[in-house]
Amino acid sequence: MGDGGILELGAPVLAPRAAPRHVALIMDGNGRWAAARGLPRFEGHRRGVDALRKTVRAAIEFGVDYLTVYSFSVENWSRPPEEVQSLLALLHRFIRNDLAELQANNVRVRVIGSREDLAAEIAGLLLEAEQSTAANTGLTLVVAFNYGARQEIAAAARALAEEAVAGRLRPQDIDAEAIARRLDTADMPDPDLIIRTSGEQRLSNFMLWQAAYAELLFVPVHWPDFSRADFEAAIDEYAQRDRRFGGLATADRRAKTAS
Ligand code: FPP
């Protein structure tokens, strides 16, 4: 990508069982990273893109199938216009400069979030990133842009209501699966691991439906400082967790099967 040329990435280094299939990232703390250094907030976001670039490379190396990044929330439009502009410019530059490396590394780009009311230029850019990488079969990089989980769920509810009114769907057929199929993430696995940087411990309207059984990890570093080692430590921590999905702990399950 932009700063380092094309990387030759080898086989995943972690055993397939240990690696989460889908990792989602709340890249928080850019502003505080910049403030702590007496720099403008823009500089924090700019360094945040560098951290994202490294994280995409690491995700490929670790054998992650889906990496979702919260790049711009529906609430972010309320930030000062200069900051909104700088975030849009960074997204623009990321797609323009990094698409070639993403292509070379077989990365497929997907975008979630509302496309309604987006400027034609930005909507076109997102579509170009998706279309030009649609045939790639490696990591899927899911960019959450103009994204809000409540808005996504409301849109799914609206779609279901429209189908019911049109007589194509009976209310009794609406179940969790029917809702999931109408979300932006319809054909993706739920995130296994959600990482939020900067020490804040909340989801902030990010993947609320999909997070039902995700492991949550809150790391104290600000996003621009999030390194390959931090990512690897997060994946190691994930591998230690016992995911029960409402069932029994692994040890109890083994005991039950043995008895
Ligand atoms: C949160 O930090 C981060 C954001 C609102 C934007 C994240 C965006 C990027 C890393 C770059 C753009 C993305 C792409 C895909 C090119 P904050 O500003 O809320 O930090 P603070 O809480 O410390 O103020």
pLDDT at 247: 81
The DSSP result for 57-98, as a single string, is HHHHHTT-SEEEEEEEEGGGGGS-HHHHHHHHHHHHHHHHHH
CA 168 – CA 129 distance, rounded (Å): 33
- Does residue 106 have an active-site annotation? no
The two three-digit tokens of residue 109, written as one number: 């780009």
Ligand 1 site, residue 28, Cβ cutoff 6 A: yes
Ligand 1 site, residue 31, Cβ cutoff 6 A: yes
Identify residue 39 by its one-letter amino acid code.
Answer: L
Q: Give the total residue count for the chain.
A: 259
Q: Tell me 189's DSSP state.
A: P
- Does residue 28 have an active-site annotation? yes
108 is in an annotated binding site: no
Task: Give the pLDDT confidence of 149-172 residue by residue, as tens digits.
Answer: 999 999 999 999 999 999 999 999
Name all domains of the chain by residue range, CATH numbers in brackets.
Answer: 22-248 (3.40.1180.10)
73 is in an annotated binding site: yes
Nearest CA, atom 10, ligand 1 = 48
Task: Give the pLDDT confidence of 17-57 residue by residue, as tens digits.
Answer: 578 999 999 999 999 999 999 999 999 999 999 999 999 99
Percentage of the chain modeled with pLDDT above 70 = 90
CA 108 – CA 188 distance, rounded (Å): 13
pLDDT at 4: 41
223 is in an annotated binding site: no
Report which of 5, 64, 8, 109 is spatially closest to residue 231, judged by C-alpha positions. Answer: 64
Q: Which residues of the chain have pLDDT under 70?
A: 1-17, 250-259
Which entry of 65, 76, 106, 225 is annotated as an active-site residue?
A: 76
Report CA dihedral (45, 133, 24, 156) to the nearest 10 degrees.
Answer: 110
Sequence-separated (6 or more) residues with CB below 8 Å from residue 31: 41, 44
pLDDT at 256: 62
Q: Are 92 and 124 in contact (CB under 8 A)?
A: no
Distance from residue 87's CA to the centre of ligand 1 (Å): 8
pTM of the model: 0.91
Atom of ligand 1 nearest to the CA of 198: 23
CA 141 – CA 111 distance, rounded (Å): 8
pLDDT at 3: 44
CA 71 – CA 144 distance, rounded (Å): 6
pLDDT at 1: 42
Identify the helix (H) or strand (E) that includes residue 254. Answer: helix 250-258
